[in-house]
């Protein structure tokens, strides 16, 4: 059965009919990782997501698989080492959603870092994250820096360090994990909200859920229930009456998108803001656009309503104009934006940027397991940690030993390209198939890069439905990938496709504005 929007009711129905081993509430990267970990260890896993998969924080990040160089400043050595090493694993298992990019770290007279500290910091990072030899840091002189990035402010510039980070597509990474878990037998549905817990002898044994598309209420039973609802995690803990001790501290982060013509940079750049607030900002080229972020401010509102405000916008524009004074960017230059919430664990007396990005497990007396905090990059380790609690409980209650997690070797959906080193060759080999069904070479390349080994399915759909797709009036690249996302990625609403599956609304809003679907 395809992972399609048509099969969504059947998948939900099948969850209702059985007792799952584990029900995961929340379809962000954390929930997705747990789903895959458990299913690949032979458990019957299920997942519900109240909106679209990855519609929470997991489509609103800086989209980097990184060790978090910044955390070295806070001496978070263990965090940097752990998530840093994860970069190579994510890249290997999903090279189609992970792209190595050069990141420049310019340093200025009187700035946070000088030549020595930058060089040392990057060296420690290389060591902790076990960075591959070819990707290790390089130090550049002022002249070399300006040759590479002529738009940088030159006054006070002393040089730069260049290192490699991995740019990802956070929403697609989440989806590829869920699709892989589904392929292995897991059940997952979007637009289904957990409303109330069901208890037996004070232990949580199930969840009353509502299918937000049909309005129907359903009941799902599971031996173990995980709350992986990110910014909403405390809400579910409150429902379970187990919110005690540590709690969430939500901080908002905003990104803006500018056309490359208005802000042409060659490499990604990670720089100090000019406000002496100790914050650093990324400017990252992506296709024809550059995106910039992020802000970091406390947030107390409804997580569903998080938006960019004028003061967020002004902060980011002033930060860019501070480092790239020639550009004189204005509000009108911003094409799109996104705002997300970091579900951090509150630490007394610490401000938004100083709170640790560590993850934390909360084990309630009812049996509810909550996992929160952490980073996109560390999703596999967070899943392992959560599943190890469940493995211990299964050992105790069923005297059954679960095999160890091997998700470090599980290739994600679309990742069957022969390994990261072979990906370029894979793309070249597949281009003729795309051209054969009517795509230009560039379009075929784009599809293969984004969908990896699943490109074949898209090419087949384009061939089989060519005339119907033509009649939609949409470019073939859009209509065929839209059809793929309906039939194989459970897209339900236009935003599911335009924001999370194609990210066209973020990175090609001009194309979206031009579209009018013919019926």
Residues of this chain that bind ligand FAD (CB under 6 A): 25-31, 48-51, 55-58, 60-64, 66, 193-194, 228-232, 253, 294, 340-343, 374-377
In the bound complex, what is the minimum distance in angstroms from residue 53's beta carbon to ligand FAD? 7
Nearest CB to ligand FAD, comparing residues 366 and 515:
366
In the bound complex, what is the minimum distance in angstroms from residue 366's beta carbon to ligand FAD? 16
Nearest CB to ligand FAD, comparing residues 257 and 469:
257
Residue 457 near residue 488, CB atoms below 8 Å? yes
Closest CA to 199 of 174, 165, 225, 238: 225
Alpha helices in 291-415 (DSSP H): 310-323, 379-398
In the bound complex, what is the minimum distance in angstroms from residue 25's beta carbon to ligand FAD? 5
In the bound complex, what is the minimum distance in angstroms from residue 48's beta carbon to ligand FAD? 5
In the bound complex, what is the minimum distance in angstroms from residue 13's beta carbon to ligand FAD? 18
Which string of b and e fits 119-137 if b means at least 16 CB within 10 Å? Answer: bebbbbbbebbebeeebeb
Distance CA(74)–CA(280), nearest Å, equals: 13
Nearest CB to ligand FAD, comparing residues 199 and 429:
199
Closest CA to 432 of 467, 459, 452: 459
In the bound complex, what is the minimum distance in angstroms from residue 300's beta carbon to ligand FAD? 15
**Computed from CA positions of residues 129, 70, 301, 332, in that sequence, does the dihedral angle turn out positive or negative?**
negative
What is the full DSSP assignment across 1-44?
A: --S-TTTHHHHHHHHHHSEEEEEEE--SHHHHHHHHHHHHTT--
Nearest CB to ligand FAD, comparing residues 157 and 320:
320
Burial of 80 (0-12, 13-18, 19+ CB in 10 A): buried
Angle between helices 77-93 and 379-398 (to 10 degrees): 90
Nearest CB to ligand FAD, comparing residues 253 and 367:
253
Nearest CB to ligand FAD, comparing residues 145 and 295:
295
In the bound complex, what is the minimum distance in angstroms from residue 235's beta carbon to ligand FAD? 7
What is residue 270's DSSP assignment?
A: E
In the bound complex, what is the minimum distance in angstroms from residue 32's beta carbon to ligand FAD? 7
In the bound complex, what is the minimum distance in angstroms from residue 369's beta carbon to ligand FAD? 13
Question: Residue 314 corresponds to which tokens in the numbers above?
Answer: 């002004």
In the bound complex, what is the minimum distance in angstroms from residue 378's beta carbon to ligand FAD? 7
In the bound complex, what is the minimum distance in angstroms from residue 61's beta carbon to ligand FAD? 3
Residue 145 near residue 151, CB atoms below 8 Å? no
Could you tell me which residues come within 8 angstroms of residue 398 by beta carbon, excluding any fewer than 6 positions away? none
Nearest CB to ligand FAD, comparing residues 439 and 497:
497
Nearest CB to ligand FAD, comparing residues 341 and 364:
341
Nearest CB to ligand FAD, comparing residues 382 and 394:
382
Distance CA(280)–CA(270), nearest Å, equals: 7
Which H helix or E strand runs over 195? strand 192-200
Nearest CB to ligand FAD, comparing residues 389 and 437:
389
Q: What's the angle, vertex CA 144, arms to CA 140 and CA 150, rounded to 5?
A: 125
Distance CA(77)–CA(127), nearest Å, equals: 11
Distance CA(130)–CA(132), nearest Å, equals: 6
Nearest CB to ligand FAD, comparing residues 376 and 387:
376
In the bound complex, what is the minimum distance in angstroms from residue 159's beta carbon to ligand FAD? 25
Nearest CB to ligand FAD, comparing residues 31 and 206:
31
- Tokens 């990896």, residue? 452
Nearest CB to ligand FAD, comparing residues 31 and 121:
31
Distance CA(198)–CA(342), nearest Å, equals: 29
Question: Residue 270 corresponds to which tokens in the numbers above?
Answer: 């990670």
The C-alpha torsion from 286 through 339 and 281 to 354, rounded to 10°, is -140
Residue 447 near residue 430, CB atoms below 8 Å? no
In the bound complex, what is the minimum distance in angstroms from residue 220's beta carbon to ligand FAD? 11
What is residue 405's DSSP assignment?
A: P
Distance CA(60)–CA(280), nearest Å, equals: 18
Question: Residue 407 corresponds to which tokens in the numbers above?
Answer: 């998700």
Which H helix or E strand runs over 45? strand 45-48
Residue 326 near residue 151, CB atoms below 8 Å? yes
């Amino acid at each position: 059965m395809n992972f399609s929007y048509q099969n969504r009711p059947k998948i939900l129905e099948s969850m209702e009919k059985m007792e799952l081993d584990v029900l995961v509430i929340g379809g962000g990267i954390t929930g997705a990782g747990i789903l895959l970990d458990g299913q690949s260890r032979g458990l019957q896993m299920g997942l519900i997501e109240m909106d679209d998969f990855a519609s929470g924080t997991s489509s609103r990040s800086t989209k980097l698989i990184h060790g978090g160089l910044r955390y070295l400043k806070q001496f978070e050595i263990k965090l940097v080492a752990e998530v840093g090493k994860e970069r190579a694993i994510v890249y290997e298992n999903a090279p189609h959603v992970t792209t190595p990019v050069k990141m420049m770290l310019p340093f200025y007279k009187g700035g946070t870092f000088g030549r020595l500290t930058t060089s040392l910091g990057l060296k420690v990072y290389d060591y902790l994250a076990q960075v591959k030899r070819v990707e290790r840091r390089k130090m550049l002189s002022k002249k070399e820096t300006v040759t590479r990035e002529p738009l940088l402010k030159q006054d006070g510039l002393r040089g730069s360090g260049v290192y490699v980070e991995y740019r990802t597509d956070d929403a697609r990474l989440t989806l590829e994990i869920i699709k892989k878990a589904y392929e292995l037998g897991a059940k997952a549905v979007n637009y289904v909200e957990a409303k109330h817990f069901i208890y037996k002898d004070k232990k949580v044994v199930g969840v009353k859920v509502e299918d937000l598309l049909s309005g129907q209420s359903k009941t799902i039973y599971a031996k173990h229930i995980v709350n992986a609802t990110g910014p909403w995690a405390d809400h579910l803990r409150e429902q379970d009456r187990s919110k005690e001790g540590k709690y969430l501290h939500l901080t908002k982060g905003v990104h803006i998108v500018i056309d490359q013509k208005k802000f042409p940079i060659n490499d990604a750049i990670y720089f100090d803001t000019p406000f002496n607030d100790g914050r650093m900002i990324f400017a990252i080229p992506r296709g024809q656009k550059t995106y910039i972020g992020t802000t970091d401010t406390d947030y107390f509102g409804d997580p569903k309503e998080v938006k960019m405000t004028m003061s967020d916008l002004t902060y980011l524009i002033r930060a860019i104009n501070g480092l790239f004074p020639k550009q004189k960017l204005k509000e009108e230059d911003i094409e799109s934006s996104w705002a997300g919430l970091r579900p951090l664990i509150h630490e007394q007396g610490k401000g938004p940027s100083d709170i640790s990005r560590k993850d934390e497990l909360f084990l309630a007396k009812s049996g509810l397991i909550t996992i929160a905090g952490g980073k996109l990059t560390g999703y596999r380790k967070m899943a392992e940690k959560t599943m190890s609690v469940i493995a211990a409980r299964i050992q105790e209650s069923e005297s059954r030993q679960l095999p160890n997690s091997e998700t470090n070797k599980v290739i994600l959906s679309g990742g069957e390209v022969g390994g990261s080193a072979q990906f370029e060759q894979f793309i070249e080999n597949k281009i003729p198939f795309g051209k054969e069904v009517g795509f230009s070479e560039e379009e075929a390349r784009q599809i293969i890069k984004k969908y990896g080994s699943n490109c074949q399915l898209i090419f087949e759909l384009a061939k089989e439905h060519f005339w119907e797709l033509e009649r939609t009036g949409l470019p073939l690249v859009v209509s065929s990938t839209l059809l793929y996302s309906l039939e194989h990625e459970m897209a339900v609403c236009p935003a599911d496709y335009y924001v999370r599956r194609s990210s066209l609304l973020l990175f090609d809003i001009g194309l979206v504005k031009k579209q009018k679907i013919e019926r």
